[in-house]
Amino acid sequence: MEKAKIDGFYRARNSFQDVAQDPNTPSDYLNFLSRFYLISVKELVAANPSTPACALEKLSKDISSSVRSGVAVNPNTPCHVLWELRQDDFLEVRDSVEKNPQVIQQRKLQKWSDELDKKHNINIKKMTEEETDHTVA
């Protein structure tokens, strides 16, 4: 292959990568790039917070675990897709789900709720004990 063609290929690839990772890229362009043949471009589209949910859903089934990992960390990934990726065969993908802002927020809310439940149960137990003490006395 002649050098001009090779240089042209690398310039085009780099241009696609620049567009794929730019959060200001219109969603229809990202949707188009999500079907691109280069894994490096699909990885960037998958991680781009402007990528539409429909493209993320398709990318979540990509053969490349690195593309699926990009989908897993994307804040716009639908919950049902995250649930599917949580059961992925590759640890890299499952670990990426745990880094998703939605999952982190859900975990914080669950922890807060558990702490409230624990405090509430302690208070109820304490009140019950106090009532028992008054009826015995």
Domain count of the fold of the chain:
2
Under DSSP, the state recorded for 130 is H
Per-residue model confidence (pLDDT) at position 124: 56
Same domain for 10 and 68, yes or no, is yes
Per-residue model confidence (pLDDT) at position 110: 79
Same domain for 83 and 107, yes or no, is no
Per-residue model confidence (pLDDT) at position 8: 56
Same domain for 55 and 118, yes or no, is no
Same domain for 34 and 74, yes or no, is yes
Same domain for 18 and 84, yes or no, is yes
Same domain for 88 and 58, yes or no, is yes
Same domain for 17 and 63, yes or no, is yes
Please give the backbone phi and psi of residue 112, each rounded to the nearest 5 degrees, phi first: -60, -45
Residue 101 · residue 126 · CB < 8 Å: no
Same domain for 16 and 35, yes or no, is yes
Residue ranges making up the domain that contains 23: 3-99
Per-residue model confidence (pLDDT) at position 130: 58
Same domain for 88 and 116, yes or no, is no
- One digit per residue, the tens of pLDDT, for the chain of length 137 reads 465 544 555 566 678 899 999 999 999 999 999 999 899 999 999 999 999 999 999 999 999 999 999 999 999 999 999 999 999 999 999 999 999 999 988 888 777 777 777 766 655 555 555 555 555 45
Per-residue model confidence (pLDDT) at position 28: 93
Cα–Cα–Cα angle for 11, 14, 19, nearest 5°? 125
